[in-house]
Structure 1
Amino acid sequence: MSSALEEEIGARTAALVPKWTGVSLDAGPGDVECERGYILHWAEATENANLLYWDEGVAQDVTGGWIAPPSMLSVWMRPLMFNPNAREQVRPLEMHFRLKDAFELPEGIVTGNEIVFGVPVRPGDMIATKQTVTEIGDVRTNRLGTGRPWTIDVTYTNQRGEVVAVESYRMFCYVRSAS
């Protein structure tokens, strides 16, 4: 049995589901080039003693040179929060925010995340992203509120067009339940 709120959200957003499913956003390259200094600070901050990030000989033997830790992936795609030369403010995972606005679901959480890695990120790489809405689920209610789940796949590519990773975000966006 569905609630009145589920029915209202379902009716209001039903036509949006096919309109948004499959839509992609080319977010372009991030604002920061992969640099060795960033890699060292990340390895230091996370106390990552993997010799791939500390010993050039090991890095050369194993990966053909320096690489960034896979856990740094999102560092390279994030826009700077302040940039005096920026024409417009682009948020990380911009497609998610556009969906929230279109569906009028102001709250959201990430319910799952999966990453499949491709070629490693190397110093000098500029990472671009393409965000694609792959699924929008049915309206449902849980302890957080009433809304819809959706999945956005983010494809990361370097300046050579090589796929660095594909990351799938599963989210639930909702209107809070009245207390």
Structure 2
Amino acid sequence: MSAAPELPPAVQAMIGTPMYEERTEFPIEIGYVYNTCAAVQNANPIFWDEAAAREITGGPIAPPTMLSVWFRPHHWAPGAAGERTALQVHFDLKRLLDLPEAVVASNEAVFGEPVRPGDRLTTRQIVRSVGPLKRTKLGTGRFWTIDVETTNQHGEWVGTEIYTLLGYRRPDQ
């Protein structure tokens, strides 16, 4: 395979630039925590018992693994226009690089301050890297890494999700 073509200027400008800063559409709700814990049969008392939560974590918290839940947009919301997608910068990369297919190659999460009921969270997406063209079993494409950084209403870091994705074009496309 020949040397990978340069990245389009629009993609180069995205790397390292915080984009799509969003605030949660509603304060963190304990009902979502209960529903999530019930769905996966998570009986950890810090999510169910206020006294245990107060003793262990200083009060009720959401499971850290729910971090991305708070930013999954509803398919409809009053006043919202157009398609609403999570991880919008990923879809931007697919379009700009003309790579119509994609898979998540890896996902890692690092947690900071706990998320508590009533918190209002803010997230931003940062493209950390876009690799050269590469031929894989799925097709020809590129790997890219996106950080989704989240803070609470006090500006405290609550976590970062790190996604490595492969955008590609199938051989028959």
Q: TM-score over 0.5 for the alignment?
A: yes
Instruction: List 4+ stretches of structure 1 deviating above 6 A.
Output: none
The answer as to whether partners of 1:31 and 1:80 remain within 8 angstroms in 2 is no
Partner of 1:143 in structure 2?
137
- Residue 85 of structure 1 deviates from its aligned partner by 2.0
- Residue 73, structure 1, aligned to residue 70, structure 2: no
Could you tell me the TM-score, scaled by structure 1's length? 0.89
Deviations 1:30-89 (A, max 9, x none): 223211111111111111010101111110001110000112111111222111222454
- Name the % identity: 42
The answer as to whether partners of 1:30 and 1:127 remain within 8 angstroms in 2 is yes
For structure 2, which runs of at least 5 residues remain unmatched after alignment?
none
Equivalent pairs counted in the alignment come to 172
Partner of 1:32 in structure 2?
26
Partner of 1:114 in structure 2?
108
Which stretch shifts more, 32-41 or 144-153? 32-41
For structure 1, which runs of at least 5 residues remain unmatched after alignment?
none
Alignment-mate amino acid for residue 162 of structure 1: E
Deviations 1:119-164 (A, max 9, x none): 0110011221110010111110111110111000110111111111
Alignment-mate amino acid for residue 47 of structure 1: Q
Q: Distance in 2 between matches of 1:15 and 1:75?
A: 32
Alignment-mate amino acid for residue 24 of structure 1: P
Alignment-mate amino acid for residue 34 of structure 1: I
Deviations 1:79-103 (A, max 9, x none): 2211122245441001101111111
The answer as to whether partners of 2:20 and 2:88 remain within 8 angstroms in 1 is no
Query: Secondary structure of the residue that 1:178 maps to in structure 2?
Result: coil
Partner of 2:147 in structure 1?
153
2:7 to 7, 14, 27: 14
1:99 to 85, 93, 116: 93
- TM-align CA RMSD: 1.8
Could you tell me the TM-score, scaled by structure 2's length? 0.92
- Residue 168, structure 1, aligned to residue 162, structure 2: yes
Shift of the 88–128 alpha-carbon distance from structure 1 to 2, 3 Å rule, reads farther
Shift of the 75–112 alpha-carbon distance from structure 1 to 2, 3 Å rule, reads same
